[in-house]
């Protein structure tokens, strides 16, 4: 799909990156190479325990690689200082929404990021309200985060990430636990965003709606999956009915 022109600088470049959890006897991530270019919408679909979440933690600097080089926005990302800057521009949606929300009210949680980015109260509040509105969460601002349903928590988590207006999104199974209608809304929001992302999902149609290329992970490496070609943004299981090739 997105053939990278040689002169374009990748947003994310991993070269020979390995990671092993302390005490484990194999590398979860093993000599992995990967690039994400501006405008790329990359999907990852791989079995449980293959290291997808670990990969995201490496990209956010929450784990440090045992080997290899991570370059983000054209610069090597090694120290905590590097990652402090990176985290302002890359948004991670945690796999478990309970990990993501920690303020008592929705509004406060969504405004937490913008406030850290140096926005004043007024601006942070506006951004938070706007983001909630875009996600169809009007009227949620004063709800209490720990009393939300699983799906609501997920959407609010996404709002907390989007409120930071990142350049890159890392989405760890965002569609889990969402009903069809909410999922459709999520697809719409993501399609209308003008940013690059890596999307982890186990749902074929969701993934194919939202991404241009799909990778799988095996033995700690990422492999481009030969995707059963579909026209982008068309449900694969309906395409064979409507299309005649």
**Which of Mg ion, ligand ATP, other proteins, none does 21 bind, CB closer than 5 to 8 A by kind?**
ligand ATP
Give dist(CA 160, CA 100) in Å, integer. 8
Q: Smallest distance, Å, CB 176 to other proteins?
A: 17
Which residue lies nearer to other proteins by CB, 57 or 206? Answer: 57
Give dist(CA 74, CA 212) in Å, integer. 22
Site for ligand ATP contains 50 (CB under 6 A): yes
Question: Which residue in 214, 227, 163, 228 sits closest to 189, CA to CA?
Answer: 163
Q: Smallest distance, Å, CB 62 to ligand ATP?
A: 11
Site for ligand ATP contains 175 (CB under 6 A): no
Q: Smallest distance, Å, CB 139 to ligand ATP?
A: 32
Give dist(CA 112, CA 245) in Å, integer. 50
**Which of ligand ATP, other proteins, Mg ion, none does 98 bind, CB closer than 5 to 8 A by kind?**
other proteins
The three-state secondary structure class of 120 is coil
Site for Mg ion contains 53 (CB under 5 A): yes
- Strands (DSSP E) contained in 49-201 are 67-72, 75-76, 90-93, 168-172, 196-200
Q: Site residues for ligand ATP, window 91-110 (CB under 6 A)?
A: 95
Dihedral Cα 163, 139, 199, 32, nearest 10 deg = 50
Q: H/E element holding 110?
A: helix 106-116
Q: Beta strand 168-172 with 90-93: parallel, antiparallel or unpaired?
A: parallel
Site for ligand ATP contains 52 (CB under 6 A): yes
Stretch that binds other proteins, among 26-34, 43-51, 92-100, 129-137 (CB under 8 A): 92-100
**Which of other proteins, Mg ion, ligand ATP, none does 138 bind, CB closer than 5 to 8 A by kind?**
none
Give dist(CA 99, CA 109) in Å, integer. 12
Residues found near ligand ATP in the complex (CB under 6 A): 21, 24, 28, 46, 48-54, 95
Contacts with other proteins, residue ranges (CB under 8 A): 57, 60, 62, 84, 87-88, 91-92, 94, 96, 98-105, 107-108, 111-113, 115-117, 121, 124-125, 144-146, 160-161, 164
């Amino acid at each position: 799909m997105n053939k990278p022109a040689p002169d374009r600088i990748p947003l994310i470049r991993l070269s020979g990156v390995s990671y092993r959890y302390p005490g484990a006897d194999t590398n979860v991530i093993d000599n992995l190479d990967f690039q994400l270019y501006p405008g790329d919408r990359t999907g990852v679909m791989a079995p449980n325990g293959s290291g997808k979440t670990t990969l995201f933690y490496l990209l956010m600097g929450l784990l440090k690689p045992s080997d290899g080089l991570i370059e983000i926005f054209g610069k090597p990302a090694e120290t905590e200082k590097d990652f402090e800057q990176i985290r302002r521009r890359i948004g991670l949606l945690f796999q478990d929404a309970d990990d993501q929300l920690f303020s008592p009210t929705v509004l406060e949680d969504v405004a937490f990021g913008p406030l850290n980015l140096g926005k004043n109260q007024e601006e942070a509040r506006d951004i938070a309200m706007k983001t909630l509105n875009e996600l169809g969460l009007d009227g949620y601002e004063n709800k209490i985060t720990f009393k939300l349903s699983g799906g609501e928590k997920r959407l609010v988590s996404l709002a907390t990430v989007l409120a930071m207006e990142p350049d890159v999104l890392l989405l760890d199974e965002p569609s889990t636990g969402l009903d069809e209608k909410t999922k459709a809304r999520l697809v719409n929001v993501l399609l209308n965003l003008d940013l690059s992302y890596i999307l982890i999902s186990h749902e074929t149609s969701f993934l194919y709606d939202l991404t241009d290329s799909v990778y799988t992970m095996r033995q700690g490496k990422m492999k481009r999956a030969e995707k059963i070609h579909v026209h982008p943004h068309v449900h694969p299981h309906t395409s064979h009915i409507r299309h005649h090739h």
